[in-house]
Structure 1
Amino acid sequence: MNLLPNSPIQMHYSPATDILHVKYPDVDSVLLPIIKESLAAMVQAIINYDVKRLLLDASKTVIKSSIEENRSLTLELASHLSKTRLQKVARIQPVDPVREKQAQANINHIQEKGLLSYQLGTFATEQEAMEWLLA
């Protein structure tokens, strides 16, 4: 079921597997308020449906914001997710190695801040991510 049909974030929830599949949106400085609002709606859906497994597909996400804006957005999202009952978050990494390097730097920063209350895995393919989520 598509939970946010009019949002820049594509979200599909499968009650059978308890997995929320999210295509992470493109991040553009101009659209940050809309992206933040959409991510807040995603977190609310996680709370409302008591989702335990999240699949974040960032493989095709385009980043058109500063490193600081992107890091701030990532920290804010991690902070909100840590207040849910999520147990596992699987991330499909970007194909671009430069973007993945920045994403890993953001993840390291989140870990340093102690914001991970859930297991976090990074995968090259959706199949690998799904297998890990369902294990």
Structure 2
Amino acid sequence: MVLYNGLIKLEYNPATDILETSMPDASHFTLPEVRLCLDVIISHIRNYHISKALFDSRHTQLDMGENEDEYKAMAAQFGKELMGTHIRKIARLSLTDKNREEQGKKLQQTTKQAIDIRTFYDYSEAIQWLEKE
């Protein structure tokens, strides 16, 4: 079922308790728009008590430029907010982009005590991992 369809799309399967979303392409959005996308994700995870999520960042471009510190702070804040939800497992779909992988690793470090986060390059593998209890 589609929970949200705006700047990003959130799809939720209650049978598996998995939320799927494509992470926002920050190159097309302003900082406030990226923050709004992250806030939408957090609010839906909280409101639906979601415990598993698939974040697809395969098509996300991130050119932080002069806003690098703001993006890093936003990513750290997103990680902290995730820890205040019911989320316990996150699968990240990613391409082999070293810069983006560094950002993903920082999110993992921020949340590693409370949330199991793994990076996948294949959608089916990610879903299978999320579906395992």
- With normalisation by structure 1, the TM-score equals 0.84
**What do you get for the CA RMSD once the two structures are aligned?**
2.1
Say if 1:39 and 1:77, in contact at 8 Å, map to a contact too: yes
Say if 2:27 and 2:63, in contact at 8 Å, map to a contact too: yes
* Structure 1 residue 105: Cα displacement: 4.7
* Runs of 5+ unmatched residues, structure 2: none
In the TM superposition, what whole-angstrom CA distance separates every residue of 1:87-129 from its partner, at most 9, and x where no partner exists?
A: 1011112x2433344324523xx52x56641111111111111
The residue aligned with 1:125 is 122
1:78 aligns with 2:79: yes
How many residue pairs match? The answer is 130
* Runs of 5+ unmatched residues, structure 1: none
- With normalisation by structure 2, the TM-score equals 0.85
The alignment-based identity, stated in percent, is: 26
- Find the residue that maps to 1:85 and give its secondary structure: coil
- State which drifts further: 54-63 or 67-76: 67-76
CA distance in structure 1 between the partners assigned to 2:28 and 2:83 by the alignment: 25
* Structure 1 residue 52: Cα displacement: 0.5
Ranges of 4+ aligned residues in structure 1 off by more than 3 Å: 113-116
